[in-house]
Structure 1
């Protein structure tokens, strides 16, 4: 269980009935923020897209119950980050890092609520995950034309992986991500493919390229396909 200091930063998905949240005191509720900025048309994921989306879902589903929850999946991983980084639950570093994962979850949960069919039940089922991405990725050519929650999610995900807060992703960041979520994989091999220019880090530019490829590309040779582990 997170400390009292951290608990004041509960995700929007856990406190959805409130109009405002402590994390973003001036931010409107998710249903207002994300409900009108994209075409509500629902598309169908290609077989390859669905395979990649499933890989992403399985990565974050720490307890493998087919449902994503902040308190059961993401906080479990965050406890691992405490151990991996030598933090305490009351340390400044952990509170700041916890905020990053709250921001990431808020964007992800907004994807479910954006469809206007989801209930504020603080969770995302596997089928809801497929459906929200099918709607979000109806444009097959440009991730920048996706709904706002997707455009916000991409940088927030980047910062959620950046454990030391230096605005770059290094191999140690990626290794900690996989270990915290209890996932095995050839992390160094994947990371080296993501590091396009071979400078030892994945920049925001490289990250944006990989995210575009992960969500939209049908080219099975693109390294971005394997952001959450090699596809089976």
Structure 2
């Protein structure tokens, strides 16, 4: 069964993100959920899909949907267990995770300065989760304390979140405290 290997911790953290992404709360991720997520994110940025920034963000998010749908068998609906099944395979394909991290870094780095500020990061969290979690999430991720996330910091955290199973890893906080 897909997802059977996921630990309780992995199930908890992935379930939280899955629930936030499931815009219509039907228990599946679909293309329309990713379109809704993209629209929420663009709205928080004060722009829309007709701008170059909006087109870029939409392309990244819809590309992520296409990858997820393909990994789950191209059914157009992806269940939590299918996502967990994909997560189980991620440690065997680190390039897929770091590729997704690179795309997400580009999406989050609104001003293109090569780092993610706390404000940029909080907009991503708010778009994905509907709110900004407290508890110093950004500070927990900003390992060197310079007030920004480098591409390497973000990529490492992204990998820890999606492919890792360590509750103590800073990357486990990518979408807030689990």
The TM-score normalised by the length of structure 1 is 0.65
Does the aligned pair in 2 maintain the 1:104–1:160 contact within 8 Å?
A: no
2 CA distance for matches of 1:51 and 1:147? Answer: 22
Partner of 1:171: 118
Within 1, Cα distance between the matches of 2:6 and 2:109? 29
Residue among 125, 133, 142 paired with 2:79: 125
Equivalent position to 1:219, from 161, 166, 176: 166
Is it true that 1:49 corresponds to 2:10 in the alignment? yes
Question: Distance between the aligned counterparts of 1:156 and 1:93, measured in 2?
Answer: 13
Report the secondary structure of 1:131's partner residue.
Answer: helix
Q: In structure 1, how many angstroms separate the alpha carbons of the residues matched to 2:48 and 2:11?
A: 38
C-alpha distance in structure 1 between counterparts of 2:34 and 2:149, whole Å: 23
Matches within 5 A, 1:45-194: 45-71=6-32, 73-112=33-72, 118=73, 120-134=74-88, 136-137=89-90, 143=91, 145-146=92-93, 148-186=95-133, 189-194=136-141
Measured on the aligned residues, the alpha-carbon RMSD in Å equals: 2.5
TM-score of the superposition, structure 2-length normalised?
0.82
Distance 1:103 1:129 in 2: 16
- Greater Rg by CA: 1
Aligned pairs, number: 176
Alpha-carbon spacing, 1:167–1:161, altered in 2? closer, same or farther (3 Å):
same
Matches of 2:25 and 2:37 in 1, distance apart? 13
Structure 1 unpaired stretches of 5+:
1-41, 113-117, 138-142
**For residue 15 of structure 1, what is the aligned residue in structure 2?**
none
Unaligned runs of 5+ in 2: none
What is the alpha-carbon distance in structure 1 between the residues aligned to residue 37 and residue 23 of structure 2? 8
Larger helix percent = 2
* Distance (Å, rounded) in 1 between the aligned partners of 2:111 and 2:144: 22
